[in-house]
A and B are shown apart, each in its own frame.
Chain A
Amino acid sequence: MSNNAIEVNQLHKEFTTRVGFWSGRRKTTVAVEDISFNVHQGELFGLLGPNGAGKTTTTKVLSTLLLPTRGSVRVLGMDVVTETRTVRKRIGFTFGGARGLYGRLSGHDNLRYFAELYGLEPALARKRIAEMLEVVDLTERRNDRVENYSSGMVQRLHLARALLHDPELIYLDEPTVGIDPVGARELRQTIKNLIALKKTILLTTHYMAEAEELCDRIAIINHGRIIALDTPASLKRQVSGDTIFEIEIDAALLDELQRQLQLINHRLTIQVSEAYPNKKVNVRTDQPEAVLKYLTLFISSGHVHGLEVRNHSLEDVYVSIIQGKQE
């Protein structure tokens, strides 16, 4: 077997749906369009993209829940189409959100049921359930009904379920969605611990900081296509050289600031967002001195409520790549 835990080659997935009740017309939606990538053994690989980009569809094909329309997918050396059962024994997966568990059952009983579905012998199941509840810090609440768990606890129970049968490869689809910052940090630490145990992880997320903190490599996917694939450091270098100014000003001065900045005869990108009651202006430039000269006027006017100068984060890279492709 090669060093790759996942080998995706020209994966294409489309869905066909009927349009209207009486009409025989059908509509085809392409969810994933001829994507190729590999994930190495022991790697934490991130799949990033906006809503509807094709991340979850890709994860579902990799976890045997969907059949590819064409292309090939090999997981741990096995074909997901023809060796479905064997693949399922060796992978674990979670999907973000509160769905996927029985709310009226306790966390412990949910795990017992899924341990049975994964064919764990009773003694082993008892041992693994106790261990996994400990790993996700739910031992104290194991006998409470899941419907009484917080979002963070549900996500942690999802993770415990995915790890029950000690899989070599784990898919985590939006694992920290809806979790408070403390819970998300704890979950990220748990994920790091899994990497120490030599597990291979495919993580899909919206949170760039999370991807930057955890992932060895990242693929950015949009409209079903991979538009960038590299390490976080290399991706950041792709738009290196620019400096970012984040300025919070009175909303009334926004037009004036934008007008002044446009006068600068250099390449710069301006993005405006709300910072009620003010406006936050994000300026990206390769000539920071020139921008700073104009900004000094505003700083002295007393209408600037905040100014931050920084280099690129992965989020900047992501926005730049996604917007660049859309343009």
Chain B
Amino acid sequence: MIGRMLRLFWRQMNVQLQIRTFNLYTLLLLFVQPFVFSAVGMVLSQVAGNQKPDLVYTVIGGGILGMWSGLVFSSTFDIGRDRRDGTLEFIIGSPTPYSVVEAVRTLTNVLTGLVSLLAAFLVAVLVFDYTLDQVQVLPALVSLLLIVAGMWAIGVFLANFLVWSRLSGSIVEFFEFPVAVVCGFMYPIRILPEWMQAISAVFPIRWALEGLQAALYGVSDMNFYAGRWGMALALGLLFWLTAHWMERKVHDLIRVSGEMSSI
């Protein structure tokens, strides 16, 4: 079973990379867009009167935003393409449950998005002399893992809407920036009004991201991390279980409506 999943993951990764290689849209998504986000962050930081921009929130925040945007756009693009090209019917009509295919594909997209974060991190180190001395490595890695898991869980949740209706693509894309705003990708979440913080509390990314930001600042209090990791894990699990429950419903709904072949 594990061998089968790994093979499917490898094959899906292969398909995704071949479809995306030399695709200008992908280059824009992975490299140019995070760079623009980071630049905007630095300008805003300067306007706010900071002598030196906060690199954790500007450059690395831009990388996280790039990951998130990449996930939203890739998922919308992939399912839209499958519907348009007629491959969605053949994937759903295969014996492999579509939830498995989508889980693997979303993971591929999230992991591909790490390239954005890595690029942003390299820019911070190489261009802006960001030092790694204060970084808490283990909490940073665990938090990053939970960011990946959280984005993946939200991704498979959103994929259900994209499969259910061809019209839902624009609605899913609409959520790109609101989620980024309420989750504090590029600024400390405490500066947001309380009602916005309350909204962000339902997203596992927000909690894992707080962990990553703290680890990059060198916070060593494990109790701080435990609470946030616990929330990220629990909410990620909730998103995944909801997605799993929805998948069965959506599978039946599209077989009633014939929506999987509509273009």
Say whether, besides A65-B260, A66-B255, A119 and B95 are in contact (CB < 8 Å).
yes
Complexed CA–CA distance, A67 and B256 (Å): 5
Report B-chain residues with C-beta under 8 Å of the C-beta of A114.
90, 94
Question: Are the CB atoms of B95 and A88 closer together than 8 Å?
Answer: yes
Complexed CA–CA distance, A93 and B95 (Å): 13
Interface flag for A122 (CB, 8 Å): yes
Report A-chain residues with C-beta under 8 Å of the C-beta of B97.
85
| Minimum C-beta distance from A27 to chain B (A) | 13
Question: Are the CB atoms of B94 and A104 closer together than 8 Å?
Answer: no
Residues facing B in A57-75 (CB within 8 A) are 57, 60, 63-67
Interface flag for A53 (CB, 8 Å): no
Stretch at the interface among A94-102, A248-256, A263-271, A305-313: A94-102
Say whether, besides A65-B260, A109-B14, A116-B11, A100 and B87 are in contact (CB < 8 Å).
yes
- One digit per residue, 1 when the CB lies within 8 angstroms of any chain A CB and 0 when it does not, for chain B 89-111 equals 11111111100010000000000
Complexed CA–CA distance, A13 and B86 (Å): 21
Interface flag for A103 (CB, 8 Å): yes
Question: Are the CB atoms of B14 and A93 closer together than 8 Å?
Answer: no
Interface flag for B252 (CB, 8 Å): yes
Interface flag for B257 (CB, 8 Å): yes
Residues facing B in A150-171 (CB within 8 A) are 161
- One digit per residue, 1 when the CB lies within 8 angstroms of any chain B CB and 0 when it does not, for chain A 109-141 equals 100111011110010000000000000000000
Question: Which has the most chain A C-beta neighbours within 10 Å: B92, B95, B256?
Answer: B95
Question: Are the CB atoms of A117 and B101 closer together than 8 Å?
Answer: yes
Interface flag for B15 (CB, 8 Å): yes
Closest to B259 in A: A15
Question: Are the CB atoms of A102 and B255 closer together than 8 Å?
Answer: no
Say whether, besides A99-B86, A105-B18, A117 and B91 are in contact (CB < 8 Å).
yes
Report A-chain residues with C-beta under 8 Å of the C-beta of B90.
100, 114, 161
| Minimum C-beta distance from A70 to chain B (A) | 12
Say whether, besides A105-B19, A118-B95, A119-B95, A100 and B255 are in contact (CB < 8 Å).
no
Interface flag for B4 (CB, 8 Å): yes
Report B-chain residues with C-beta under 8 Å of the C-beta of A198.
none
Q: List 30 A-B contacts (CB under 8 A).
A: A15-B258, A60-B89, A60-B258, A64-B255, A65-B92, A65-B255, A66-B255, A66-B258, A67-B256, A88-B94, A93-B93, A95-B86, A99-B85, A100-B85, A100-B87, A100-B89, A101-B87, A102-B18, A103-B85, A104-B18, A104-B19, A105-B19, A109-B15, A113-B11, A114-B90, A116-B11, A117-B94, A117-B96, A118-B96, A119-B4
- Chain A interface residues (CB < 8 Å from chain B): 15-16, 57, 60, 63-67, 85, 88-89, 93, 95, 97, 99-105, 109, 112-114, 116-119, 122, 161
Q: A104-B19, A105-B19 given. 10 additional CB < 8 A pairs?
A: A16-B257, A57-B258, A65-B89, A65-B92, A65-B93, A65-B255, A89-B95, A100-B90, A101-B85, A117-B95
